[in-house]
Amino acid sequence: MLKRRAPLTYENALSRAAGLCAKCEQCSPDILKKLAAWGVSHSESQRVIKRLEELKFLDDLRFAKAYAHDKLHFSGWGRRKIQQGLWVKRLSTSIIEQACEDFDNEDESEAYRAIALRVMKAKVRQLKEWPMSREAKLKVIKFAMSRGFEYPLIVSIMRNQTDLLHDDPDA
């Protein structure tokens, strides 16, 4: 028979939540879920969240920016997919927009385009078809869109940088 654990006290809940936040970035909705699973009441959960924010353990904007950076640079996700991932985390629209604003500055914009090119190049390599047929081009476009990149950017790369999409082993 399973024994029910007693709900955590405020101090214990704060300590455990701070430990989670110290290990890696967390967002307040995720911490609220954890607190609920630990049996902490809603009012106590709100107190814990507020205290974690005061102590700078928890910051939703900082989490969103780290999430966006990691998903772009390590997972090869585009803006749309990152925004969707942050929305699933139940973050506010303003925080999601602020996290993705960095993609618009000049340095990040070039990096964003380079990552889109890298993702598309991987798909072209997988297709093993050069010159690409119309169907192959559509597959590359669909793949890049499924990774969250915007259609105008994809078309721009397909038109202006087609030579960079193909790694010619003979050259």
Same domain assignment for residues 20 and 71: no
Q: Residue 44 class from Cβ within 10 Å (0-12 exposed, 13-18 middle, 19+ buried)? A: middle
Query: Residue 141: what pLDDT?
Result: 95
Q: Cα-atom radius of gyration of the chain, to the nearest Å?
A: 22
pLDDT tens-place values along the chain, 171 residues long: 555 577 788 999 999 999 999 999 999 999 999 999 999 999 999 999 999 999 999 999 999 999 999 999 999 999 999 999 999 999 999 999 999 988 877 677 888 999 999 999 999 889 888 788 889 999 999 999 999 999 999 999 988 877 777 665 443
Domain count, the chain: 3
Residue that the structure tokens 């010619």 belong to: 168
Model-wide pTM > 0.95 = no
Same domain assignment for residues 77 and 114: no
SS (H, E, C) 14-30: HHHHHHHHHHCCCCHHH
Look at residue 5 and tell me if it is in a domain: no
Domain that holds residue 155: 105-165
